[in-house]
Amino acid sequence: MPIQGSVRARTAREVRSWDMAADVVVVGFGGAGVGAAVEAASRGAETLVLERAGGPGGASGLSGGYVYAGGGTSLQKACGFEDTPENMYNFLVAATGPNPNTDKLRLYCEESVSYFDWLVSMGVPYAQKFYSEPTWQPPGEYGLVYSGGENAYPWNEIATPAPRAHIAHMPGFGGSGRGSGEAGPGSVVLKHLIAAAEKLNVRHHYDMRVDRLVEADDGRIVGVVAARYGEEVTVRARRGVVLAAGGFMNNDDMKRQHAPHLLGANLVGTEGDDGRAIRMAQSVGAAVQLMDKAECAFGLHAPLLVRSMIVNLQGQRFVNEDTYPGRVGQAILMRQNRRAFAVFDLESHEVAVPAGTTARRAEPTWVAETLAELEQLAGIAEGGLESSVGYYNKYAAEGRDPMFRKNPKWLKPLHAPFGAIDIGSDVFSSFSCFTLGGLVTPPSGEVIDVDGDPIPGLYAAGRTVSGIPASGYLSGSSLGDSIFFGRKAGISAAAPA
């Protein structure tokens, strides 16, 4: 969807009067915005948040509530896992690459334990219970889960596996709300942080769409121009503006320019993820990076995924099925032109999808007595699937997977009758994505221009920027990164000009 209206910055000389003013003006009241607001206000800065929706939360409030944290948090220890900042860093550098944001990763890992302690001090509740099964979202009574393939090849040979997805406690939540727009554990995290902001007297205005930045003659950003119910509102920022307004998954023009492979995929987020904040910053010379990168969830039942072979149109495997499911989605979307199939036998299906299960995308698209018949039904290259299953079965019988080293617990030779689920083509609507690329910022949150210099008075965080989920993604790295670096941006913006 295209953005209406210009985002070109207005000069301060064009603003005849200011309708509002604050030391720090935060654009967006999701995870990054509330993190920035809490830290700015706690340092004595008068803080004002402008949110285009009718209430707070943004995409963060609709999320599964995973905050990626590690290095030896109290929750990890309570669940019996050891971890260190260095071990966490070694994993993240590999898993978020290529082109990982090493400066941000290093700081994030070094401060991860204190970050989690801070969340707990804000009142965010966590159940001391580890969920060990493959899942997109565990039941609400669990607080810790693997969310990045840490215990799968090749990551388990790069760093000692440790679960790091810390999930806010939401009793009765069964995971069905993930990606459906229903409030989940993410809303629990936001509720407590918003309450903290209110205690610090952070002001906010909803239904306020920020359209442009205001730039002084010396290049400093000194405010914003917004619209509320069709009326223009000018807001002065005495110290700084923090952009925390999401990514650009809801902007087809930007996707067409930067990430055409995302066209047609479902939106993970809100209608406010239209890239406007990114374009506003670009209008004053801001640099962007990794704009083609995205997270890609797809609606295949996780317990069935690990027991399947994921193959392409040639019938060949191309990804480790027991890694993080979002990585499988990225591989299908970006390396296989959206076409792939989950192939399994009906015995494995019965184990993964017990009778009465209402899991999304768990029923076979086709069932066949032979692999040749299944190839014909699915449009897979003749002989390709037969060859791949033969190779897979030979080593699965020995408990080995020489190609992708899937965990032996998920290995079993596949026998007739066979089933397959079409993950692409006409059912591409099963893919749900959000963008990972955005403005270039250091860990402290200043927006960097195309010459490599900070733009005075302008800061950003969350999916408006390119953060720790650089190329590879893992669940919790977006919400976790947004709040963490939102806090850093708020601290920087609150410093006296």
What count of Cα atoms within 13 Å lies in the side-chain half-sphere of residue 451? 5
Question: pTM for the full model?
Answer: 0.95
Same domain, 58 and 102: yes
Are 343 and 425 contained in the same domain? yes
Boundary residue ending a domain (411, 431, 451): 431
Question: What distance in Å separates the CA atoms of residue 491 and residue 489, rounded to the nearest whole number?
Answer: 5
pLDDT at 4: 60
Ramachandran area for residue 80 (φ above 0: left; ψ -120 to 50: alpha; else beta): left
- Compute the distance between CA of residue 324 and CA of residue 355 in angstroms, rounded to an integer: 25
Q: How far apart are CA 144 and CA 165, in angstroms?
A: 6
Supply the pLDDT for residue 256: 97
Domain boundary among 431, 447, 467: 431
Q: How far apart are CA 207 and CA 384, in angstroms?
A: 55
For residue 334, give the CATH number of its domain. 3.90.700.10
pLDDT of residue 425: 59
Q: What CATH number corresponds to the domain at position 6? A: 3.50.50.60
Q: What is the pLDDT of residue 208?
A: 97
What residue type is 460 in one-letter code?
Answer: A
Instruction: Please indicate, yes or no, whether residues 488 and 388 belong to a single structural domain of this protein.
Output: no
Let me know whether 377 and 427 are in one domain.
yes
pLDDT at 69: 98
Please state the three-class secondary structure of the chain as a single string. CCCCCCCCCEEHHHCCCCCEEEEEEEECCCHHHHHHHHHHHHCCCCEEEECCCCCCCHHHHCCCCEEECCCCCHHHHHCCCCCCHHHHHHHHHHHCCCCCCHHHHHHHHHCHHHHHHHHHHCCCCECCCEECCCCCCCCCCCCEECCCCCCCCCHHHHCCCCCCEEEECCCCCCCCCCCCCCCCHHHHHHHHHHHHHHHCCCEEECCCEEEEEEECCCCCEEEEEEEECCEEEEEEEEEEEEECCCCCCCCHHHHHHHCHHHCCCEECCCCCCCCHHHHHHHCCCECEECCCCEEEEECCCHHHHHCCEEECCCCCECCCCCCCHHHHHHHHHHHCCCCCEEEEEHHHHHHHCCCCCCCCCCCCCEEECCHHHHHHHHCCCCCHHHHHHHHHHHHHCCCCCCCCCCCHHHCCCCCCCEEEEECCHHHHHHEEEEECCEECCCCCCEEEECCCCEEEEEEECHHHECCCCCCCCCCCHHHHHHHHHHHHHHHHHHCCC
Contact at 8 Å (CB) between 273 and 57?
Answer: no
Are residues 282 and 155 located together in one domain of the fold?
Answer: yes
My answer on whether 446 and 491 are in the same domain is yes
Task: Determine the structural domain holding residue 422 and report its residue range.
Answer: 296-431
Q: Note the pLDDT of residue 1.
A: 40
Q: How far apart are the first and last CA of the chain?
A: 37
Residue 286 shares a structural domain with residue 346: no
> Are 284 and 365 in the same domain?
no
136 and 273 inside one domain: yes
Tell me the C-alpha distance between 494 and 240, whole Å. Answer: 7
Length of the chain: 497
Among 381, 407, 431, give the residue marking a domain's end. 431
Tens-of-pLDDT digits for all 497 residues of the chain?
444 689 999 999 999 999 999 999 999 999 999 999 999 999 999 999 999 999 999 999 999 999 999 999 999 999 999 999 999 999 999 999 999 999 999 999 999 999 999 999 999 999 999 999 999 999 989 999 999 999 999 999 999 999 999 999 998 787 544 444 457 899 999 999 999 999 999 999 999 999 999 999 999 999 999 999 999 999 999 999 999 999 999 999 999 999 999 998 999 999 999 999 999 999 999 999 999 999 999 888 999 999 999 999 999 999 999 999 999 999 999 999 889 999 999 999 999 998 777 766 788 999 999 999 999 999 999 999 999 999 999 999 999 999 999 999 999 999 999 999 998 755 545 789 999 999 999 999 999 999 999 999 999 999 999 999 999 999 999 999 999 999 999 999 999 87
Side-chain-side CA neighbours of 202 within 13 Å: the count stands at 33
* Residues 238, 311 within the same domain: no
Q: Which long-range contacts (CB under 8 A, 24 or more apart) does 156-159 make?
A: 158/90, 158/91, 158/94, 159/87, 159/88, 159/90, 159/91, 159/94
Do 34 and 131 sit in the same domain of this protein?
Answer: yes
Q: What is the pLDDT of residue 484?
A: 98
Residues 348 and 225 in one domain: no
Tokens 């499988």 label which residue? 328
- CA-closest candidate to residue 136, choices 91, 185, 203, 208: 185
Domain count, the chain: 2
Locate 273 and state its tokens.
């993820």
* Dihedral in degrees, nearest 10, Cα atoms 39, 40, 44, 45: -170
